[in-house]
Amino acid sequence: MLSAYFENGTLGEKDEQPKIGDMTMIIKNASVFQESGTFKADDIFISGAYFADDTHEVEILDASDCVAIPGLIDVHIHGCVGYDFSTADATGLLEMTRYQAQNGVTAVCATTLTLPEIQLAEACRRIAAHDDPNGAAIAGIYLEGPFLSGKKAGAQNPDYLQKPDIMEIRRLQEAANGLIKLIALAPELEGAIELIGMLRGEITCVLGHTTANYDLAQQAFVSGARQVAHLYNAMPPFHHREPGVIGAAMDAPDCRVELICDCIHIHPSVVRATMRMFGDDRVIFVSDGIMATGLDDGCYELGGLAVAVSGRHSYLAGSETIAGSVTNLMDCLKIAVSEMGIPLGSVVKCATVNPAKALGVFDQRGSIKPGKCADLVLLNEDLSIRAVFLRGSRIV
């Protein structure tokens, strides 16, 4: 994809890429996303790397046929373009974050897999050291495991599952330089409820890969858990007599839930029902992307397990176990609107405002407000990307 730039006041292409943060401009007449999930015809002011109230000596750019939304934030993503956050070196991290930015995802929470502590610690150190002004920001680290249920391991490697260990989390947080924001665990494991209480206010505990019933899940939410990983997947189903984690999450007003809208993990009817049950204030759209995202069909790897990919389908080799997703978050947004019938405003809210709040960065990202990082995506009427602005400069 060519690096793009505004040309003669319109959205054109130019193979000269500006330096991040150099732009000062007004984007006029776009249909601009509001934090409430609505849209308003408005002008957007950018000064350097931030949205502004007003600005002077600017380039005025017309976007009257575009929808303007904040850069998307993916809180649950393992990898893409042949790399995985659990194993990627500096080059791999650059490739992943730049691919995400090119596709309108301007911040991610790098998600690790169930692995031995020594490997997780090394991954945390590499991720925390990453800094690339031309790629999506890494706004946090998400530990998905190793404190998960063996009965609901899904595509997590069962060889490395273990009981909750607060000292291991402390060591990993030190390796991550404080960047760990989320940790998924199964509350039925010995010591899990106590660990949730100890981490309250420090790291958000997420229920996932679990066999927990309603009462135990409710206890976990009372103790401080505030999120559910990839709702419906790797947990008991929502039954009218046994509502399980899903029912407990619905009854916990402070709990947010992740949804993977790739038309593989969840049926469109269930996505529509979930949006009605939880409302668009409590749903977070995630990709759960793996290294095959952005690549062709074939055989790949996930935490030491072989994965077969065909189209949107990703399974553990030789099984019917879904192994993450190969659909990036922007494509999930398009699918949710075009194939699931979810209103665009709600979808954008679930991919920007809500994830920013879940990561504790809503004061910096997640909406188009003065003082926030100027990460912006302009969409055409068919939701294809017209332009991406990363920290105030156009990269697409």
Q: What percent of the chain has pLDDT over 90?
A: 90
pLDDT attached to residue 12: 52
- What's the confidence (pLDDT) of residue 9? 46
pLDDT category at 24 given cuts 50, 70, 90 is confident
pLDDT at 57: 62
Higher-confidence position of 69 and 59: 69
**What's the length of the chain?**
396
Question: What is the mean pLDDT of the segment spanning 273-298?
Answer: 97
Which pLDDT tens digit goes with each residue over 43-65? 999 999 999 988 776 788 899 99
Phi-psi group of 391: left, alpha or beta (phi > 0 → left; psi -120 to 50 → alpha; rest → beta): left
pLDDT at residue 257 greater than cutoff 90: yes
- Do residues 282 and 71 touch, judged by C-beta distance below 8 A? no
Supply the residues annotated as catalytic. Answer: 288
Give the separation between CA 274 and CA 245, rounded to whole angstroms: 13
Burial of 263 (0-12, 13-18, 19+ CB in 10 A): middle
One-letter amino acid at 190 equals E
Q: Which of 287, 271, 258, 266 is nearest to 81 (CA)?
A: 287
Strands 256-260 and 227-228: parallel
pLDDT, residue 54, reads 80
Residue 157, classified by CB atoms within 10 Å of its CB into exposed (0-12), middle (13-18) or buried (19+), is middle
Least confident of 9-13, 99-103, 150-154, 228-232: 9-13
Can you give the pTM of this predicted structure?
A: 0.93
